[in-house]
Structure 1
């Protein structure tokens, strides 16, 4: 996620409880969203975008995160493809935002790149 929910919430001067209540979710689930331990559904992302006034699609824009993490860990595209078994052309398309990673691919990348 490129959007930092905690920063957006603080900018709006809301507590976690207030955002959770407005979004009709538990405070513990909202806290997991803020720490990126969970990814919201599209419907919830839309609601959070409305509450905190940001483009909800940004919650799913992970391509910059993937590329930046890969580079910061000094991993090449080939390294990532070997570790994840993702086809090189597909990985390049995902990293450049031309294709969306599957849930399994995203989980692998999150594990390897620690995000």
Structure 2
């Protein structure tokens, strides 16, 4: 679950439907991003980040951190 994404949406006082509409995606797709079931494309991440006012790279920080940790284990 991307609790940080949900919290940003709630802070902006927007529904999932409103964020999805402003981002150009379906509400069900947005819900999957918020639940952590899917990752957005870079373009969609940028759109959502613009709506909710955050850096779009937040969507991918966990994956980058995981890859870096795995690389350290190999070295």
TM normalised by structure 2 equals 0.80
Which structure ranks higher in relative contact order (CA pairs < 8 Å, sequence separation ≥ 6)?
A: 2
User: Which entry has the higher C-alpha Rg, 1 or 2?
Assistant: 1
SS at match of 2:43: helix
CA RMSD of aligned residues (A): 2.6
Structure 1: 4+ residue segments shifted above 6 A: none
2:38 is the counterpart of 1:38: yes
SS at match of 2:14: coil
Determine if contact 2:2/2:36 at 8 Å carries over to the other structure: no
Q: Which has the higher helix share?
A: 2
Q: Which residue of 2 aligns with 1:22?
A: 22
Determine if contact 1:20/1:27 at 8 Å carries over to the other structure: yes
TM normalised by structure 1 equals 0.54
Aligned length in residues: 71
Where does 1:1-16 land on structure 2 (aligned, <5 Å)?
4-16=4-16
Q: Which residue of 1 aligns with 2:60?
A: 60
2:56 is the counterpart of 1:91: no
